[in-house]
Structure 1
Amino acid sequence: MSSTLAKYESFLINNVSTISTLESTLRSVTWFLPGRFKDAELASESVSALLNVTSLYHDTLLARIVQNDSKWKPILPVPLHTRYARAWCDKDSAYKWIARTLELLKYTQLLVEMGLRRKTSDKTRWRGIILLETIKALLRFALLRITRRPLLSPAVPERDFDPSTLPPKSTLSSPTLVTESLPSSMPSTPEHLKNNHVPLPLSPSPLLVTPPPPSRSDSSVEDYLLPKALTTSSVRPPLSLVNKLATPQDWLAEAIYILRPLIYASLLASGRFKNRALVSAFALELASRNMRRTPAPSATLEQNEYSRRDKDMLWYLLRGSVWDNYTRPKLEQFTNKTAQTPIFGLFSAIVSDWIPLIDDYYYYTAP
């Protein structure tokens, strides 16, 4: 087994550009599969889950190669999220495996739901969903106990470089990676330049004395360089990028946020409180948002996480009565009007194929 794994890793390193292109292409194809044939959504989700799991392994392998090989180092600073998550993975093995398990569950949960929907009753399917949400909540509480800090999503390090730019072993330069050592000998001066000591004569041409046009601006250069400049967060220790939860209110806000998906799924599974599920989940979302602390201006990573949570509230447009009474009628009206339009017709066809999936499956719009 170890020899097979070593052969696969060697194949990945030697063909990393091709594999990266193939992953990107297959991800794009999965968006067009639903509705094309029978059980197309199952095939699409199977490919998507397989790609996510293999990408997680590829990211871990490539990061280890770059980290262990002293010849290579990234030109640009490593993203803050990657620094923070990688520091916890290196410090605590329990965090590393819990975070990976949580990500694997997130990658495969919809595929599990599709299998349960085809093979079991609706009641059993909801029991499986509640079991998955319970396991995920326990894993998140375990991460919360280890870090004592607000949870970031994803909990594992993200890909901090394009694997297609990883050079082969024989290459000494790359667009994103540079060597630490310089060549032993500098290239010699060409023969036709060795005796070139004649100064360039002055030319009356206006090209040499005319200043650049006044409309020329360096703002584009500044806009490109500013995001890549070092900040105070870039030089801080990785584990101090997110401050610890200090007050009982901070802990309670994080606990509510973790329990919210489990409570929402449990209410949906019970026929008695199904109509209250959306309102209850949204109320818990607002309670967690109002109780959480306001991060300091320098806490960039925590600000980004809270901003992501706020944007995720848009998913409530695809849930419950809001979806049934508002969003779905609007989408159906749009698809009916644009079905014959040359450009919008393709988009409306994709939307029409995805609408039944949102109706039938919980994990397409789960919190």
Structure 2
Amino acid sequence: MLPTSLLHFKSGHPQLRKGYIASIDTIEDILRAFSILLPGRFTDGDLCSQSILTALNLVSLYNTHYLVRVADKTQDKPDVFAFNRYLRKCFQLSRPFKWVSLCLSVVSYSEVLAEMIWARSGNSSAKHRWKLITYVESIKLILRLLLYFGAKKRMVLHPTHFLRNVDTHTLSFDREGEDRFELGHLDARLGLPSTADADLTQSVYPLPRVGWAHLAELLWMARPLVYVLTLSRVQNHRKSESSTDERDVNDQDNRTDWRPWLVSLAIELSAALLRQSQSMVPLEKDEAKRRNYLLLFYLLREPVYSIWARPFLDWLSDAADHRPLVSIITSAINDYRPFWERCYFYTSAS
């Protein structure tokens, strides 16, 4: 039903367009509710949940581009959200930028589902799994490099598509002309009107990164692929020296070898330090803050996860087992634990 309804706005009929816009939030809320409730409920519930979540993200991506496109045609005033204005500037700097950014968004939204499906197929061995992960990280690195140099060495902001700065409940259609409506702008990160945060409405665009700041961007983009290659190399080296079963060797390597974890963290911290060598505009500062928050994912990677994080979660789950409110939270955490324990892309922060 969803693919058929998504074709309706191409007809351009005012009533169909109004009807679909009004139902955008309902469609996305239903998909979001299913993706939250399914994990841990039945066999392959995690796969069903991730499939719905991937569909939700892709539908939301389509809806966002549609709303922005309609707003551009029906509004005289420019978009008050600086992030979207900056993306338009990048589209002007490089013609393929729009399609490359869209491809990167689709890959990022689909990578977890692809890994889970691959694990359930005949190619579920660790060797084939890491080969798939290496291919995906290589594709993402190439796409980010194209975006970076296509934007004349400006920082690649996240996400690489337009942000939803429109609350569909605030849409007000013109009674005299059905083809025109006004949009209530919201900051997608804060849920507040964009004008409430001056940093996000300033027309100050990122400048090209030079010197050490340029190196910082290259290091940050290459970090996920370096981590995967280092991890694969360690595992292949151990397997060549051991007669143990392949799966047991890979599990043991992930829990005892610190080299991939330390190499990735060293690159991440170096990029964060070198990034400060050049002044940043508000949009870049917001992106730098987001990247710093991603360091928390290192707590969910081996060997830190097995040594500290997992025992703590087990203790927390046991301690809150008979406490009414807290047990609901720990139960939800336990439902999602298989995601980050089995799927690389859930904690890759790439």
Q: Same fold (TM over 0.5)?
A: yes
SS at the partner of 2:156? coil
CA gap 1:225/1:350 in 2 versus in 1, 3 angstroms = closer
Which structure: greater helix fraction? 2
The letter for the 2-side match of 1:104 is V
- Identify the residue that residue 261 of structure 2 maps to in structure 1: 278
Q: Which residue of 1 aligns with 2:108?
A: 106
User: Paired residue for 1:164?
Assistant: 169
Q: CA deviation at 1:354?
A: 1.7
Match of 1:139 among 119, 139, 143: 143
Look up the match of 1:243.
207
| Superposition map of 1:1-367 within 5 A | 7-9=8-10, 11=16, 13-70=18-75, 73=77, 78-119=80-121, 120=123, 121-147=125-151, 148-168=153-173, 170=175, 176=184, 228=196, 234=201, 236=203, 241-247=205-211, 249-270=212-233, 271=235, 272=237, 275=257, 276-296=259-279, 299-367=281-349
Structure 2: how far apart are the matches of 1:7 and 1:139? 31
Counterpart Cα distance in 2 of 1:229 and 1:52: 26
Q: Which amino acid aligns with 1:7?
A: H
The TM-score normalised by the length of structure 1 is: 0.77
Identity between Structure 1 and Structure 2 (%): 28
User: Residues 228, 44 of structure 1: CA spacing in aligned structure 2 closer, same or farther, 3 A cutoff?
Assistant: same
Give the alignment's TM-score, normalised by structure 2: 0.80
In the alignment, residue 61 of structure 2 is paired with which amino acid? L
Whether the 8 Å CA contact 1:149–1:245 is kept in 2: the answer is yes
CA RMSD of aligned residues (A): 2.7
| 3-state SS of 1:245 partner | coil
Inter-CA distance 51–12: structure 2 relative to 1 (3 Å threshold) = farther
How big is the shift at 1:22?
A: 2.7
* Residues 328 and 355 in structure 1, CA contact (< 8 A), matched pair in contact too: no
Q: Which has the larger radius of gyration?
A: 1
Three-state SS of the structure 1 residue aligned to 2:172 is coil
Judged with a 3 Å threshold, the aligned counterparts in structure 2 of structure 1 residues 31 and 294 are, in CA distance, closer, same or farther, namely farther
Residue identity opposite 1:246 in structure 2: V
Once structures 1 and 2 are overlaid, which stretch shifts more, 95-104 or 161-170?
161-170
Equivalent-residue separation in structure 1 for 2:133 and 2:87 (angstroms): 28
Show CA shifts across 1:70-89 (max 9, x none): 4x658xx6222222113223
Q: Which runs of 5+ in 2 are unaligned?
A: 186-191, 239-252
Q: Matches of 2:202 and 2:193 in 1, distance apart?
A: 18
1:350 aligned partner, one-letter code: A
Q: Structure with the greater relative contact order (CA < 8 A, sep ≥ 6): 1 or 2?
A: 1
The number of equivalent residue pairs is: 310
Between stretches 120-129 and 264-273, larger displacement belongs to 264-273
